[in-house]
Amino acid sequence: MAAVINNIPTTPSPIVTSTRFTDEYDLKEELGKGAFSIVRRCIQKLTAQEYAAKIINTRKLSARDHQKLEREAKICRLLKHSNIVRLYDNIAEEGFHYLVFDLVTGGELFEDIVAREFYTEADASQCIQQILEAVKHCHDNSIVHRDLKPENLLLASKSKGAAVKLADFGLAIEVTGEQTQWYGFAGTPGYLSPEVLKKEPYGKPVDIWACGVILYILLVGYPPFWDEDQHRLYNQIKAGAYDYPSPEWDTVTTEAKKLIDSMLNVNPSRRISAADALKHPWICQRERVAGTIHRQETVDCLRKFNARRKLKGAILSTMFVTRTLLPNSAAITGGSGATNGKKSTAVPTGSGISPVTTSAISSVFASGVNRSRPTTQSDSSAIKESVDSNSATIDDANDTERTDRIKYTSSKIFTAAKKTFPSPSTIAAAMTLTSQPTKVTDINSEVTKVTEQLLQAIANSDYEMYKSLCDPKITCFEPETIGNLVEGLDFHKFYFDTVLSTKPNKPTINCTMLTPVVHPLGDDSACIAYILLLQFLDRNGQPQSVRTEETRVWHKKDSRWLCVHFHRSGMPIATAIKSSFST
């Protein structure tokens, strides 16, 4: 089964009435949903092989979307490589289009890295080698991906050493050899090359630039270009203004930095090719050249990088549903969104054939949101972190048409979402909506109180109380989910039944909510961000503390506040309590 089940449907699931497809495949459980599609696991009857079937409701596609779908399918049919998510079948029938892909179950590469016990420079070398192998295959077939980023780097399975798979060819184009021309402004802000930002002719080197950004992140856990202001971010990229600050880069080998420099050359004609990069000593002679010390600080930074980019997608997803699908959302009307949501780490979805990732609805703000900023750690060490400069995909060829079709929020939301996302305690501030001061005060008080009640239910091991405060289909991202988006209460009940059980030796827990910040999202929805401090006595009677950052999204239904989504970063709380308390 796919690792991540994530996406929020904006239309009812299509009714499958195919002939050839159902004759050849058995449909199984749902893996994800998009605006115009549903993804389900399927089994080929003849071979018993498992695949991921994306079923697209073509009746709801515009003429441009039809063209894009055909283009992506054509490109994916050309590409057959072990490091690329493969399209095995392409069936077009009346009203529906079926795309049969690899069933990719390992989740995102970046999420796998932070779950490892040991991660070295040599591991980063092995990762980028597989990415470059995929890019080289694309370029050898005159294909430019144009949207290389962490969300599109998946693992074939959860087994150790699983192959890295390049996914999402929604923005891919065919080019003629090494020729360059202007193909349009497309990509993702933090990974755009200087030539694209300058609106100059471009070609294959744009993918190499993105590989350079990815390699930089693989080595230290944060991106080379970051700024609160998107205009300044773009100026940094155009100037190639990045560096290798101490102390984190002091332990990275010179050869690794040289490879990054050759990839992040602002002159595309002098930028290294994928074929030559694969011949670089840091890659082809990694046993001799690449460092082998464990890079714990890289893992720590990368964990925060992952958490924040997923938090961005999760909050926008919830906001999308709140303003579009839930009752009483009609009070907020007006402005327009931009592109349809897409993304999950297992299989493809959206209007094209892009994989469904956890930044589900983030691409609605297709004008590009800069979310990178430096963050000062509590120990006063200045470490740059990205709140995510990589989830809002831009495709100027589609924005105008989709703007007319997707009207789900007010112009205030759209304006706010284009601003910088702040630090953890105020991460949801970009979604603040103005309303009457009295109502805001009431909502702030109510949401803070109901959050305290929920935390008290956890401290008291009271699952029934916890259940009464949560939507039955609550979604969450937390360390225990290993980077996956989990839906429903069964996942939470497991921890109440085990770690927080009513056994005589259950731990006594004290929960403290620090610096809560509430951001109303209308009269019946709100987001609260806070620091959670848990205190408990371990099996030796010694006091222990666990600190995490949490964000919860609440929706008011029938005069009752229910938690519909939450995100937790930091260490796994359940594991910490269990390991400290178990005999």
| CATH classification at residue 435 | 3.10.450.50
- 294, part of any domain: yes
pLDDT tens across 488-515, in order?
888 888 877 776 664 555 556 777 888 8
Q: What is the CATH number of the domain that holds 181?
A: 1.10.510.10
Please report the pLDDT score of residue 412 as a whole number: 40
CA distance linking residue 133 with residue 84, whole number of Å:
9
Q: Residues 188, 372: contact at Cβ < 8 Å? A: no
Q: Residues 205, 195: contact at Cβ < 8 Å? A: yes
- 202, part of any domain: yes
Domain count, the chain: 2
Last residue in a domain, options 232, 263, 298: 298
Q: Is the peptide bond before 516 cis (omega within 30 degrees of 0)?
A: no
User: pLDDT confidence of 471, banded at 50, 70, 90?
Assistant: very high
User: pLDDT confidence of 534, banded at 50, 70, 90?
Assistant: confident
Q: What is the mean pLDDT of the chain?
A: 76
- 526, part of any domain: yes
The helix-helix angle for 205-220 and 296-324 (nearest 10°) equals: 110
Highest mean pLDDT among 16-25, 45-54, 401-410, 487-496: 45-54
pLDDT tens across 148-185, in order?
999 899 999 988 889 999 998 989 999 998 888 998 89
Cα–Cα distances (Å) from 480 to 312, 429, 465, in that order, read 19, 26, 22
Please report the pLDDT score of residue 382 as a whole number: 32
- 27, part of any domain: no
- 373, part of any domain: no
Of 145-154, 430-439, 509-518, 530-539, give the lowest mean pLDDT range.
Answer: 430-439
φ and ψ of 2, to 5 deg: -65, 150
What 8-state DSSP symbol labels residue 91?
Answer: E
**Which residues contact residue 450 at a Cβ distance below 8 angstroms, ignoring those fewer than 6 apart?**
469, 554, 561
**Residue tagged active-site, from 123, 147, 207, 388:** 147
- 28, part of any domain: no
Strand-strand pairing, 486-487 and 153-155: unpaired
Q: Residues 347, 54: contact at Cβ < 8 Å? A: yes
Cα–Cα distances (Å) from 575 to 332, 571, 572, in that order, read 42, 8, 5
70 Cα distance to chain centroid: 26
CA distance linking residue 583 with residue 580, whole number of Å:
8
The helix-helix angle for 121-140 and 254-263 (nearest 10°) equals: 30
Question: What secondary structure, in 3-state letters, does 250-275 show?
Answer: CCCCHHHHHHHHHHCCCCHHHCCCHH
Please report the pLDDT score of residue 228 as a whole number: 72
The C-alpha angle 420, 349, 3, rounded to 5 degrees, equals 85
Last residue in a domain, options 247, 267, 298: 298
Q: Which domain holds residue 455?
A: 425-581
Instruction: Say whether 54 counts as a known binding-site residue.
Output: yes
Residue 147 appears among annotated catalytic residues: yes
Structure-token match 């848990």, residue found: 534
SS3 114: helix
- 436, part of any domain: yes
CA distance linking residue 510 with residue 577, whole number of Å:
12
Last residue in a domain, options 241, 269, 298: 298
